[in-house]
C-alpha cells in the first residue's frame, strides 16, 4: 500500500510540475508578445516624431526662402536710384516773339494700292492626251501624257501612259468630263482615280492641289501607230 501510495504521489507531483512548466511557458510567451507590441509602439512613435521633424524642417525652409526673397526685393527697390524730375528752363524776360505757323495739309495720306492676289485653281499636275477607244469612239479615253514634278499626281504615283478610267466612280469618256471634274473639285479634297497601267487595274487616291493657272494641258493625239484603248 505504501509503495502504491508513493507511486501515486510521484505521479501527482509530476503532473503538478508539468502544469507549472506549461503555465510558466505561457507566461513567458505572453511577456514576449507584450514586449513585441511595446517595441512596435515605440517604432511607430519614433517614425511619427521623425515625420513631424521633417515637416517642421520643410516649413522652416519655405519660410526662410520667402523671407530671403522678400529681403532681396526690398534691397533691389532701395538700390534703384530715383531720377529727379526734369525742370523746364526758365525763359528770359523780354518781349515774346511768336513762332511762325506752318500750314499743314488736311488732305488724307495717299493709300498704297495693294497687289491683287492671284486666284487659286484646283489642279492635279498632269498633262493629258485623248485617245480613241477600241470601239472607234474618238477622243474618249483620258491618258496621262506627262506628270509635273512636285505635283499631287507625282506624290500619288501617277505615271505617263496611265489610262484614267473614272473619277470617284464616274466614268471619264471625254475631255469635257475631265475638265468638269477638276473645276468642280475643292482644293485639299481627295479623289479616287481608277487607273489602268499595262495589264493592271487599280485605284489611286489623289489630293487636289492649287495653282494660279487655270486647268489646261490637253494634248491632241492623232497617231496612226497608237493602238486603240479597250475600256474595261
pLDDT in tens, the chain (232 residues): 677 778 788 888 888 888 899 999 999 999 999 999 999 999 999 999 999 999 999 999 999 998 888 887 766 665 555 555 555 555 445 555 555 555 555 555 555 544 556 788 898 889 999 998 888 888 889 999 999 999 999 999 999 999 999 999 999 988 899 899 988 889 999 999 999 999 999 999 999 988 877 665 455 554 444 555 555 5
* pLDDT reported for residue 70: 84
* pLDDT reported for residue 211: 81
* pLDDT reported for residue 155: 92
* pLDDT reported for residue 225: 43
Beta bridge partners of residue 121, listed in sequence order? 211
- 3-class SS letters over the chain: CHHHHHHHHHHHHHHHHHHHHHHHHHHHHHHHHHHHHHHHHHHHHHHHHHHHHHHHHHHHHHHHHHHHHHHHHHHHHHHCCCCCCCCCCCCCCCCCCCCCCCCCCCCCCCCCCCCCCCCCEEECCEEEEEECECCCCCCCEEEEEEECCCCHHHHHCCCCCCEEEEECCEECCCHHHHHHHHHCCCCCCEEEEEEEECCEEEEEEEECEEECCCCCCEEECCCCCCCCECCC
**Under a CB-based contact definition with an 8 Å cutoff, are residues 168 and 176 in contact?**
no
* pLDDT reported for residue 201: 94
Non-local (6+) Cβ contacts of 209 within 8 A are 122, 123, 124, 125, 151, 152, 187
Task: State pTM to two decimals.
Answer: 0.45
* pLDDT reported for residue 124: 87
Amino acid at each position: 500500500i505504501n509503495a502504491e501510495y508513493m507511486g501515486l504521489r510521484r505521479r501527482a507531483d509530476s503532473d503538478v510540475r508539468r502544469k507549472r512548466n506549461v503555465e510558466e511557458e505561457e507566461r513567458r510567451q505572453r511577456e514576449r508578445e507584450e514586449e513585441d507590441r511595446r517595441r512596435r509602439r515605440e517604432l511607430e512613435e519614433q517614425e511619427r516624431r521623425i515625420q513631424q521633424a521633417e515637416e517642421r524642417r520643410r516649413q522652416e525652409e519655405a519660410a526662410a526662402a520667402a523671407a530671403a526673397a522678400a529681403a532681396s526685393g526690398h534691397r533691389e527697390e532701395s538700390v534703384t536710384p530715383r531720377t529727379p524730375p526734369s525742370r523746364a528752363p526758365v525763359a528770359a524776360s523780354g518781349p515774346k516773339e511768336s513762332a511762325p505757323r506752318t500750314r499743314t495739309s488736311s488732305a488724307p495720306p495717299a493709300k498704297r494700292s495693294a497687289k491683287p492676289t492671284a486666284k487659286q485653281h484646283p489642279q492635279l499636275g498632269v498633262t493629258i492626251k485623248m485617245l480613241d477607244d477600241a470601239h472607234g469612239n474618238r477622243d474618249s479615253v483620258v491618258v496621262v501624257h506627262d506628270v509635273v514634278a512636285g505635283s499631287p499626281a507625282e506624290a500619288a504615283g501617277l505615271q505617263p501612259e496611265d489610262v484614267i478610267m473614272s473619277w470617284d466612280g464616274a466614268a471619264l469618256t471625254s475631255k469635257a468630263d475631265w475638265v468638269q471634274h477638276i473645276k468642280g473639285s475643292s482644293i485639299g479634297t481627295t479623289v479616287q482615280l481608277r487607273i489602268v497601267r499595262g495589264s493592271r487595274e487599280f485605284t489611286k487616291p489623289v489630293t487636289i492641289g492649287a495653282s494660279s493657272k487655270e486647268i489646261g494641258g490637253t494634248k491632241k493625239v492623232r497617231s496612226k501607230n497608237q493602238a486603240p484603248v479597250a475600256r474595261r
